[in-house]
C-alpha cells in the first residue's frame, strides 16, 4: 500500500512539471494550470490513503474551511490587487510549512518515547530549516502585503533592522548547533524561542526594502515558500514534497533574477541597500526647480487632435495605470484609434507594476490581445517610427537619465526609450518623483507633453473629444 501511495506522489510531481510546461504558451496555460490542480488532487488523495491517517473528521473540517476561504478570496480579488494576494498566499504556505515541521517534531518525540525513532543530524537540520524558512516566509510576506497595500511605510533609518538581521542569524546559528549537538528531541523550549526569533527575522528582512523593490521581494518570498516545502519534504521523507518544493524554489529564483537584471541591481543591493528614494531623494524645492518653466502642458482636446493623425501609437503602462484602474479606458482608446486605421502596441517594462507580469494581466483583463503586448527589447527599436507614445503612470522606467548619468541611482537600468518617439504624451497626477526619488528628464524634453490628472479621467476625456471631433 505504501508503495502505491508513493507512486501517487510521483504522478502528482509529473503533473506539476507538465502543468508548468503548459505555462510556456498562453494557449496551453489554462490547461497547464488544470493539470497542476489535478496533481494536487492526487497528492491529497495519496495523503489520505497514508497508513498514519486514522481519523478523517479534523482533516475534512480543515479542508472545507480553507477551501471556502480560498474560493472567496479568488473570486473577490481585483486584478490590481493580485500582488498583495500572491504575497499573502505565499505567507500562508510558509506558515503551513512551519506548522507541519513543528507538528512532526512533536510526533517524533512520541515515536522516540516508543523507541521507534532516532533523530539523525540531517533530520534535525531539516526540521530547523523548514521552521526557519517557513517562519521567515510567513512574517516577511505579511510585511510585504502591508507595503503593497500602502499601509506599511519604508522606514527612514534601516540600521536597527540590519542589526536585527545580524543578531537573529548569530542567535539562530548558536541555537541550531545546540539543538543538533544536544538532546534534539527534548529541546521544545529552545525550538519555540527559535521560531519566535525567525518570525522577528522575517520582519527585519523585509522592512528595510523599498516599496519600489516589491517585485523582487514577492518573487523571492515565492522561492522561499518552495524551499520551505522542500525542507518539510526532507523532514517527512516525502519525495513528492521535495520535487515540488524544489520546482517552486527554482521558479521564484529565476523571477527574482529577472527582476534584478531589469533594475540593473544585485540581489544583495535590493535586500540590504535600503530604499532608493531614502538614499537619493531630493527635496520638493529641488524637484520643483528642475521642472520650473520647462514643462509643456497639453489638454485632453489637444491630445485627441494629435491622435487623429497618428499612424503608430504605443502605450506605456506603469503602476499609475493600475492605481487609476485605467486599463479599460486604455483599451477603449486603443480600439478607437485602431478603427481609425492606426497601429497600436503596448510597451511592457519588466518591472512595471508591483510583480512580474502585472501589467500584462491588467491589460488582458481589459481584453487587450496578448500579441499587442511587446517586451522592452523588441519595442525599443520601434520608438523612432512611433508617432505618439502615451506614458500612463510610468516614471523611472522611461527616464533617459538611466542611460547617461553615471551618478544617478538608476544608472544602467534598461529603460523604454520612449523619448525617441515623435511625440511623447505623459499622463501623470503631478510632477512628484517616482520610486527612485529623482526628477525625470523625459518630462522637460522638447517632444514631451504633460497631461496632468488621473489616467482614467484623462483617457475618458480624450475618447470623448475624439468621438465628438
**Residues 254 to 293: which contact other proteins by CB under 8 A?**
254-255, 258
CB of 86: closest distance to other proteins in angstroms?
5
Contact 424, 431 (CB under 8 A): no
Identity of the residue, 79 or 152, whose beta carbon is nearer to other proteins in the bound complex? 79
Dist. CA 35–CA 22, nearest whole Å? 9
Report whether 271 contacts 136 (CB < 8 A): no
What x-and-dash track marks residues 32-71 binding other proteins by CB under 8 A? xxx-xx-xx--xx-xxx-x-xxxxx-xx-xxx-xxx-xxx
Q: Cβ closer to other proteins: 167 or 250? A: 250
**Residue 385 to residues 330, 389, 419: CA-CA distances in angstroms?**
21, 10, 12
Q: Under a CB-based contact definition with an 8 Å cutoff, are residues 32 and 18 in contact?
A: yes
* 396 tagged catalytic: yes
342 vs 373 by CB, closer to other proteins: 373
How far is Cα 102 from Cα 439, in angstroms, rounded to an integer?
A: 50
With residues binned 3-state (H G I as helix, E B as strand, rest as coil), the percentages for the chain, rounded to 5, are: 70, 5, 25
Q: How far apart are CA 315 and CA 372, in angstroms?
A: 10
Q: Are strands 448-452 and 423-428 parallel, antiparallel or unpaired?
A: parallel
Q: Applying CB under 8 A, what is the total number of residues that bind other proteins?
A: 124
466 binds other proteins (CB under 8 A): no
Among 131, 133, 373, 392, binds other proteins (CB under 8 A): 373
CB of 295 to other proteins, least distance (A): 32
Distance CA 224, CA 253 (A): 9
User: Is the CB of 82 or the CB of 401 nearer to other proteins?
Assistant: 82
Q: Hey, how many other C-beta atoms are within 10 angstroms of the C-beta on 310?
A: 20
Candidate list 6, 176, 372, 460; residue touching other proteins; CB under 8 A:
372
Find the binding residues for other proteins in span 100-129 (CB under 8 A): 100, 102-104, 106-111, 114, 116, 120, 122
Stretch that binds other proteins, among 175-183, 237-245, 407-415, 455-463 (CB under 8 A): 237-245
Taking CB under 8 A as the criterion, which residues in 140-159 touch other proteins?
none
Residue of 171, 364, 403, 444 interacting with other proteins (CB under 8 A)? 364
89 is an interface residue for other proteins by CB under 8 A: yes
Please identify, among the stretches 23-31, 175-183, 296-304, 432-440, the one whose residues bind other proteins according to the rule CB under 8 A: 23-31
Nearest CB to other proteins, comparing residues 75 and 406: 75
Stretch that binds other proteins, among 13-21, 283-291, 395-403, 422-430 (CB under 8 A): 13-21
What sections of 114-238 are H helices per DSSP?
Answer: 121-148, 159-181, 188-206, 214-236
CB of 292 to other proteins, least distance (A): 38
Closest CB 327 distance from other proteins, rounded Å: 11
SS3 171: helix
Among 222, 386, 408, 448, binds other proteins (CB under 8 A): 222
String marking each residue 320-359 x if it binds other proteins according to CB under 8 A: ----------------------------x-x----xxxx-
Q: Which of 148, 204, 206, 243 is close enough to bind other proteins by CB under 8 A?
A: 243
Enumerate residues 380-439 that contact other proteins by CB under 8 A.
none
Distance CA(179)–CA(174), nearest Å, equals: 9
Contact between 86 and other proteins by CB under 8 A: the answer reads yes
Return d(Cα 243, Cα 112) in angstroms, integer: 28
Q: Which of 387, 396, 405, 461 is catalytic?
A: 396
Q: Which is nearer to other proteins, 110 or 309 (CB)?
A: 110
* Cβ at position 35, least distance to other proteins in Å: 10
CA-wise closest residue to 345 among 306, 382, 320: 382
Per CB under 8 A, the list member of 7, 21, 193, 294 interacting with other proteins is 21
Conformational region of residue 301, where left means phi above 0, alpha means psi within -120 to 50, and beta covers everything else: alpha
Minimum distance between the CB of residue 336 and other proteins, rounded to whole angstroms?
16
Closest contact distance (angstroms) between CB of 353 and other proteins is 8
CA nearest neighbour of 183 among 99, 98, 109, 101: 109
Q: Nearest CA to 425 among 307, 322, 292?
A: 307
Q: What is the DSSP letter of 366?
A: T
Q: Quick check: 33 and 22 in contact, CB under 8 A?
A: yes
Q: Which is nearer to other proteins, 104 or 168 (CB)?
A: 104
Supply the Cα-derived Rg of the chain in whole angstroms.
Answer: 26
Q: Near other proteins by CB under 8 A, which window of 27-35, 146-154, 157-165, 434-442? A: 27-35
Residue 292: CB atoms within 10 A of its CB come to 9
Instruction: Give the one residue of 240, 274, 393, 409 binding other proteins; rule: CB under 8 A.
Output: 240
- 236, burial (CB in 10 Å: exposed 0-12, middle 13-18, buried 19+): middle
Return phi, psi of residue 155, to 5°: -70, 145
Catalytically active residues are 396
Amino acid at each position: 500500500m505504501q508503495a502505491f501511495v508513493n507512486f501517487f506522489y510521483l504522478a502528482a510531481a509529473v503533473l506539476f512539471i507538465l502543468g508548468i510546461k503548459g505555462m510556456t504558451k498562453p494557449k496551453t496555460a489554462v490547461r497547464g494550470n488544470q493539470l497542476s490542480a489535478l496533481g494536487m488532487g492526487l497528492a491529497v488523495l495519496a495523503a489520505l490513503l497514508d497508513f498514519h491517517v486514522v481519523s478523517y473528521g479534523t482533516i475534512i473540517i480543515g479542508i472545507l474551511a480553507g477551501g471556502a476561504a480560498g474560493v472567496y478570496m479568488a473570486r473577490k480579488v481585483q486584478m490590481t490587487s493580485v500582488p498583495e494576494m500572491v504575497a499573502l498566499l505565499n505567507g500562508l504556505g510558509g506558515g503551513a510549512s512551519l506548522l507541519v515541521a513543528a507538528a512532526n517534531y512533536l510526533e517524533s518525540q512520541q515515536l522516540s518515547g516508543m523507541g521507534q525513532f532516532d533523530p539523525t543530524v540531517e533530520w534535525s537540520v531539516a526540521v530547523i530549516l523548514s521552521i526557519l524558512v517557513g517562519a521567515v516566509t510567513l512574517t516577511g510576506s505579511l510585511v510585504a502585503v502591508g507595503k503593497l497595500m500602502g499601509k506599511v511605510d519604508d522606514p527612514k533609518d534601516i540600521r536597527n533592522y540590519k542589526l536585527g538581521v545580524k543578531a537573529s542569524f548569530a542567535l539562530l546559528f548558536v541555537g541550531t548547533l545546540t539543538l543538533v549537538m544536544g538532546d534534539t528531541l527534548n529541546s521544545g523550549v529552545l525550538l519555540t524561542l527559535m521560531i519566535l526569533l525567525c518570525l522577528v527575522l522575517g520582519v527585519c528582512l523585509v522592512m528595510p526594502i523599498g516599496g519600489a523593490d516589491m517585485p523582487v521581494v514577492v518573487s523571492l518570498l515565492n522561492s522561499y515558500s518552495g524551499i520551505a516545502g522542500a525542507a518539510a519534504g526532507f523532514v517527512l521523507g516525502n519525495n513528492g514534497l521535495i520535487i515540488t518544493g524544489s520546482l517552486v524554489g527554482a521558479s521564484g529564483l529565476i523571477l527574482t533574477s529577472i527582476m534584478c537584471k531589469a533594475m540593473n541591481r544585485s540581489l544583495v543591493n535590493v535586500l540590504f541597500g535600503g530604499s532608493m528614494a531614502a538614499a537619493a531623494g531630493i527635496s520638493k524645492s529641488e524637484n520643483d526647480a528642475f521642472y520650473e518653466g520647462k514643462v509643456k502642458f497639453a489638454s485632453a482636446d489637444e491630445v485627441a487632435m494629435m491622435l487623429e493623425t497618428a499612424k503608430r501609437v504605443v502605450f506605456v503602462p506603469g503602476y499609475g495605470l493600475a492605481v487609476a484602474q485605467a486599463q479599460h479606458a486604455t483599451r477603449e482608446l486603443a480600439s478607437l484609434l485602431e478603427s481609425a486605421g492606426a497601429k497600436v502596441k503596448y510597451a511592457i517594462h519588466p518591472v512595471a507594476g508591483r510583480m512580474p507580469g502585472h501589467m500584462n494581466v491588467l491589460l488582458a483583463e481589459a481584453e487587450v490581445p496578448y500579441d499587442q503586448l511587446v517586451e522592452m527589447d523588441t519595442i525599443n527599436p520601434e520608438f523612432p517610427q512611433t508617432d505618439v507614445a502615451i506614458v500612463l503612470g510610468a516614471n523611472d522606467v522611461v527616464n533617459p537619465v538611466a542611460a547617461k548619468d553615471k551618478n544617478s541611482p538608476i544608472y544602467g537600468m534598461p529603460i523604454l526609450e520612449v523619448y525617441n518617439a515623435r511625440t511623447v504624451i505623459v499622463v501623470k497626477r503631478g510632477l512628484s518623483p517616482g520610486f527612485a526619488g529623482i526628477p525625470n528628464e523625459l518630462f522637460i524634453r522638447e517632444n514631451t507633453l504633460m497631461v496632468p490628472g488621473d489616467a482614467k479621467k484623462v483617457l475618458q476625456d480624450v475618447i470623448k473629444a475624439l468621438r465628438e471631433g
